[in-house]
Chains A and B, each alone.
Chain A
């Protein structure tokens, strides 16, 4: 039971962390290496909220807005000029991540910051005491996933985004402002990443480099999902399970690289990853 809960909640956290990256990869077709920085920015929004003495849950909207604004600026000044050089865009966003990380260090110092727990305590669930927050995170992942799916399927933005994903040239010639779609999607993606940063605060320590450790896992999951939302959910479940199982039964160190290694092997065998199924 414990194992099952671990697997589900780990998958949920992986999903929360990678969904913003997926949105950006799908529409802009670039890998956003500043993703780790957006996570960090979000976590520091939680720190700021706590310092101001506000309700910790207020950090969620704050982080989304801050992330979206910063994302908008980054899209305009950094991503747009590199649209035709995708490998360079990886590097520029990585550089942006360094800059953001150092700015945070200058502002808050290098030390680990403490944040109030969003949801403390444990609950008895199916015969075991389990961290309440991890269960809440599972619920939040489902909510985010549902909202994301509804946006994609039911809104005008979702429709435009799907059009751009399928055929950008055609979308443009049909009068869709693809530049604006890209901007909005990048903002949403960065906002979601910052949101994820807040949600991570009860689970990990908050420091200027916290995002980097999450970046590679999220990146590999998105590569495997190949811009498909459902494939991402599947990949999070499968690789989350692998991570939990290997950590529990073999070694935590091997567990920590399980996602990256397994994803690389899956891509080697089937370059389209999970999206083909």
Chain B
């Protein structure tokens, strides 16, 4: 269902975006920081230059931990392992081939590729359908332990417990390493900054916020998480390469679990999710540690540990949190996000195969242990139909919706969307078949803005730029209608956590409609809404299905609403499909009255 937006239309709405000044600001800051760091060695003594070189390399790692933990919500101790693998790869290859051009190139390539490969494996292990964040953290604990033990058992190759020394390194003075580390740090931080400000960066936050919603927007959370783990493992490997060269020593501790926890501590103290906080925090803490731990080794650790516990409990945003609040209180800090321009895009010329049913359910049954929730459900739904699923509480309506939208639910029988069986398919793949699902409790991204939520809903069609924020937001007409009718089009920059219940419901509906599904599943779309909001949603659904290309299934308790909008009603009772007919047939039926009035005649 790909379609194109005319280039002219895209260009026409562009200018009203953020000023050029604020877009250039990160680059200017990066250049200034590079210049300052370039001349810094002239003013520092040898000890400080040495220590700060190491600190800056660690800060590169802190940026990767922050991206994973602060933005994508993956608490990881594993970056140390990737760092260690990179450092050892560099040391081993430089030791074997010397610092010849070929040797250096091979060392650099391996130091990046080997951790990336390991990252791919770790990512595959950590993230799978229904994996938990805790499990990913567990794996990230195991990886450094395994890597360290492998280093210990590596014999002469890895130098076992004493590590490797005396290998050839890059032909730099200590100032040279300082500048190299500084440039890499600035470049990595700038790249991370651009990423998190971009549309793709929003997807990271969305993953942390609401992974299920991501999947039901057709994004593959697994793939994103694995990709991120792999890419950041490569960056950690690069930091390891730098470290091996700058220090001339690699030791098992560089890959260890304790180092992994230290990285997390630095990021937490600096302020997770802020990028600059962890960078400054890491450099400050590592530099202080180098200066203080000589005199007060235990006291320093004690202070650090106490500060860490206090920060986690009292100031989860780290030290960057109060600083950031202060900054936003200043007039210069209050830039705010510019609203993208809304644009309509032509509806996709969907291959409407009017003959085949969009949804075909045969003999569907589902039970939890001995409790049978659904049994012998047969259902066919064709384009243009608006089917209401009614039935008393516990009839199995929501379970049926879940089976329709998630093929990994253990059910018996067969479900096919447009002829494709869904058994075993994860929700994002079923979305790919053209199914959109709206949940009973509005499921949106609480920490993103309305516009970002809608952008993510379009991501499976239009992709997300990892470099910038698109100035326009192209949505199908139906989604625009939902926004206009509910006034959300004037609230595009508002964080969704500030929306009312009804606005959240409308936003989720707009997101689902923006997917341009062939089959739209709605679980009580009007629960808790006002009469006016209900009418709006009713007319949107009618307009959507009237085109004859989309079908909708909604679970609904409000029989008046059902009677008004449905083309067909299906009655579910105690897990069985007891009635399936037109509005008049069902509403007039004796059976429905019996079910709803508990056995007696109404």
Query: A82–B313 contact, CB under 8 A?
Result: yes
Within the assembled complex, what's the spacing in Å between the Cα atoms of A102 and B141? 22
Q: Is A145's CB within 8 Å of the partner chain B?
A: no
Given A87-B137, A264-B125, are A102 and B298 neighbors across the interface (CB < 8 Å)? yes
Q: Is A140's CB within 8 Å of the partner chain B?
A: no
Q: Is A238's CB within 8 Å of the partner chain B?
A: no
Query: B146–A260 contact, CB under 8 A?
Result: yes
Within the assembled complex, what's the spacing in Å between the Cα atoms of A94 and B309? 8
Chain A residues, Cβ within 8 Å of B394: none
CB distance from B221 to the nearest CB of A (A): 16
Residues 77-110 of A, flagged 1 when their CB comes within 8 A of B and 0 if not, give: 0100110011110111011111101110110001
Within the assembled complex, what's the spacing in Å between the Cα atoms of A133 and B312? 42
- Choose one: B128, B134, B264, B302; the contact of A99 (CB below 8 Å): B302
Q: Which chain A residues in 175-218 approach chain B with CB under 8 Å?
A: 212, 216
Q: Is B165's CB within 8 Å of the partner chain A?
A: no
Q: Is B363's CB within 8 Å of the partner chain A?
A: no
Within the assembled complex, what's the spacing in Å between the Cα atoms of A249 and B63? 42
Chain B residues, Cβ within 8 Å of A110: 298
Given A88-B312, A91-B268, A254-B149, are A102 and B138 neighbors across the interface (CB < 8 Å)? no
Q: Looking across the interface, which residue of chain A has its beta carbon closest to that of B132?
A: A271
Query: B125–A92 contact, CB under 8 A?
Result: no
Chain A residues, Cβ within 8 Å of B75: 87, 90-91
Residues 214-250 of A, flagged 1 when their CB comes within 8 A of B and 0 if not, give: 0010011001000000000000000000000000000
CB distance from A266 to the nearest CB of B (A): 11
Within the assembled complex, what's the spacing in Å between the Cα atoms of A81 and B315? 12
Residues 51-80 of A, flagged 1 when their CB comes within 8 A of B and 0 if not, give: 000000000000000000000000000100
Within the assembled complex, what's the spacing in Å between the Cα atoms of A16 and B437? 48
CB distance from B251 to the nearest CB of A (A): 17
Within the assembled complex, what's the spacing in Å between the Cα atoms of A238 and B476? 57
Given A102-B301, A264-B139, A268-B128, are A95 and B312 neighbors across the interface (CB < 8 Å)? yes
Given A87-B75, A271-B130, are A253 and B304 neighbors across the interface (CB < 8 Å)? no
CB distance from B262 to the nearest CB of A (A): 10
Query: A254–B153 contact, CB under 8 A?
Result: yes
Residues 26-60 of A, flagged 1 when their CB comes within 8 A of B and 0 if not, give: 00000100000000000000000000000000000
Residues 109-147 of B, flagged 1 when their CB comes within 8 A of A and 0 if not, give: 000000000000000010010111111011101100110
- Choose one: B145, B257, B299, B312; the contact of A106 (CB below 8 Å): B299
Query: B139–A95 contact, CB under 8 A?
Result: no
Q: Looking across the interface, which residue of chain A has its beta carbon closest to that of B314?
A: A81
Q: Is A256's CB within 8 Å of the partner chain B?
A: yes
Q: Looking across the interface, which residue of chain B has its beta carbon closest to that of A79?
A: B313
Residues 137-171 of B, flagged 1 when their CB comes within 8 A of A and 0 if not, give: 11101100110010011000000000000000000
Query: A261–B132 contact, CB under 8 A?
Result: no
Within the assembled complex, what's the spacing in Å between the Cα atoms of A87 and B74? 10
Q: Is A157's CB within 8 Å of the partner chain B?
A: no
CB distance from B211 to the nearest CB of A (A): 14
Query: A256–B149 contact, CB under 8 A?
Result: yes
CB distance from B398 to the nearest CB of A (A): 20
Given A264-B138, A271-B132, are A95 and B153 neighbors across the interface (CB < 8 Å)? no
Query: A31–B149 contact, CB under 8 A?
Result: no
Chain A residues, Cβ within 8 Å of B153: 251, 253-254
Chain B residues, Cβ within 8 Å of A90: 75, 137
Q: Which chain A residues in 247-277 approach chain B with CB under 8 Å?
A: 251, 253-254, 256-257, 260-261, 264, 267-268, 271
Given A91-B312, A267-B135, are A216 and B145 neighbors across the interface (CB < 8 Å)? yes
Within the assembled complex, what's the spacing in Å between the Cα atoms of A101 and B261? 15
Within the assembled complex, what's the spacing in Å between the Cα atoms of A256 and B146? 9
Q: Is B530's CB within 8 Å of the partner chain A?
A: no
Chain B residues, Cβ within 8 Å of A86: 134
Q: Looking across the interface, which residue of chain B has its beta carbon closest to that of A260?
A: B142
- Choose one: A92, A99, A261; the contact of B142 (CB below 8 Å): A261
Q: Looking across the interface, which residue of chain B has its beta carbon closest to that of A87?
A: B75
Within the assembled complex, what's the spacing in Å between the Cα atoms of A101 and B75? 23
CB distance from A264 to the nearest CB of B (A): 5
Q: Is B265's CB within 8 Å of the partner chain A?
A: yes
Within the assembled complex, what's the spacing in Å between the Cα atoms of A105 and B299? 10
- Choose one: A87, A98, A101; the contact of B308 (CB below 8 Å): A98
Given A106-B299, A256-B149, A260-B142, are A85 and B135 neighbors across the interface (CB < 8 Å)? no
Query: B146–A261 contact, CB under 8 A?
Result: yes
Q: Is B424's CB within 8 Å of the partner chain A?
A: no
Task: Give 27 CB contacts A-B under 8 Å.
Answer: A81-B313, A85-B316, A87-B137, A88-B316, A91-B265, A91-B268, A92-B313, A95-B305, A95-B306, A96-B309, A98-B302, A98-B305, A99-B302, A102-B301, A102-B302, A103-B302, A105-B298, A219-B141, A220-B142, A223-B138, A251-B153, A257-B145, A260-B146, A264-B125, A264-B138, A267-B138, A271-B132
Q: Which 8 A-B pairs have the closest CB atoms?
A: A98-B305, A95-B309, A102-B302, A95-B308, A99-B305, A253-B153, A92-B312, A260-B142
